[in-house]
């Protein structure tokens, strides 16, 4: 995955237009991911490890179809539910109740299905009477809880998680992790990014390690976690 980064900062649109007309806009190539290749089988639970800037979230977005890879391809089989930026599809002016239907539609859920699961979503989110309050008055934790509750109401075949189990208080985090684990019984395949090694070990059976956009190790979760922790301790990467 290649991004073109501007070499010099442009402060406003007018300056950008002038520089564009004069052909003075210069870009620098930045490969967020390069030569990353792996295969997952049904029921695998893959932890994706790496320091900030390693390319973890970019990888998940490519697999989820949010970003299109510059080179290479991704082949998936089964319904994917990506939990990347919980609540990103909410309309701040609408209430939580209204956003259940809006966000559900964004995720591709039929209206009748959302109606059927409506009470269950509210109960899991623990928002109670706040469900009728505009989302603009929600804290980030409340939005994430509602987003998680909507997104996990279905049983996907492939579940993509990016730090979403770090949302809310300790009680809700434990509840969220229990919900994810309950999906394992149906043989769901999981791709999971977390900065918590303990959480990755509890959820995953396999792991890969990314460093500056490149895959440097893959294998069993304990083995890869140990390599990752060693690199952190040694200060090997930034």
Q: What is the pLDDT of residues 51-77, one digit of tens each?
A: 888 899 899 989 988 889 888 889 988
Verify that 130 and 174 share a domain, yes or no.
Answer: no
pTM for this model (two decimals): 0.73
When pLDDT is cut at 50, 70 and 90, the band that residue 226 belongs to is very high
Verify that 127 and 19 share a domain, yes or no.
Answer: no
Burial (0-12, 13-18, 19+ Cβ within 10 Å), 118: middle
* Listed residue (189, 126, 114) closest to 153, CA to CA: 114
Is residue 165 over pLDDT 70?
no
Verify that 55 and 71 share a domain, yes or no.
Answer: yes
What's the CA gap between 153 and 104, in Å, rounded? 10
Is residue 132 over pLDDT 50?
yes
Residue 187 within any structural domain of the chain: yes
The CATH number that applies at residue 177 is 3.40.50.300
**pLDDT at 181 (0 to 100):** 80
Verify that 173 and 227 share a domain, yes or no.
Answer: yes
Verify that 141 and 161 share a domain, yes or no.
Answer: no
Q: Which of 138, 155, 172 is the last residue of a domain?
A: 155
Sorted by sequence, the CB contacts under 8 Å of residue 63 that are 6+ apart come out as 74, 76, 80, 160, 191
15 lies in which domain range? 1-31
Residue 178 within any structural domain of the chain: yes
What's the CA gap between 98 and 135, in Å, rounded? 9
Residue of 125 and 181 predicted with greater confidence: 125
Q: How many domains does the chain have?
A: 3
Verify that 41 and 22 share a domain, yes or no.
Answer: no
């Amino acid at each position: 995955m290649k991004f073109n980064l501007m070499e010099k900062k442009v402060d406003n649109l007018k300056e950008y237009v002038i520089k564009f007309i004069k052909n003075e806009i210069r870009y620098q190539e930045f490969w967020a991911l390069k030569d990353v290749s792996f295969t997952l089988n049904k029921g695998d639970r893959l932890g994706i490890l790496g320091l900030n800037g390693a390319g973890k979230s970019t990888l998940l977005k490519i697999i989820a179809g949010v970003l299109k890879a510059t080179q290479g391809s991704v082949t998936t089989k089964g319904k994917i539910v990506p939990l990347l930026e919980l609540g990103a599809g909410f309309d701040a002016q609408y209430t939580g109740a209204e956003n259940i239907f809006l966000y559900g539609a964004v995720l591709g859920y039929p209206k009748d299905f959302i109606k059927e699961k409506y009470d269950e979503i509210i109960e899991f989110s623990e928002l109670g009477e706040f469900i009728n309050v505009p989302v603009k008055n929600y804290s980030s934790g409340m939005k994430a809880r509602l987003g998680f509750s909507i997104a996990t109401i279905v049983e996907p075949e492939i579940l993509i998680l990016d730090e979403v189990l770090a949302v809310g208080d300790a009680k809700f985090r434990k509840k969220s992790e229990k919900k994810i684990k309950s999906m394992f019984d149906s043989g769901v395949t999981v791709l999971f990014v977390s900065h918590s090694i303990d959480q990755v070990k509890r959820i995953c059976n396999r792991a890969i390690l990314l460093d500056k956009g490149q895959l440097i190790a893959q294998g069993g979760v304990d083995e890869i976690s140990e390599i990752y922790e060693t690199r952190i301790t040694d200060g090997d990467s930034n």
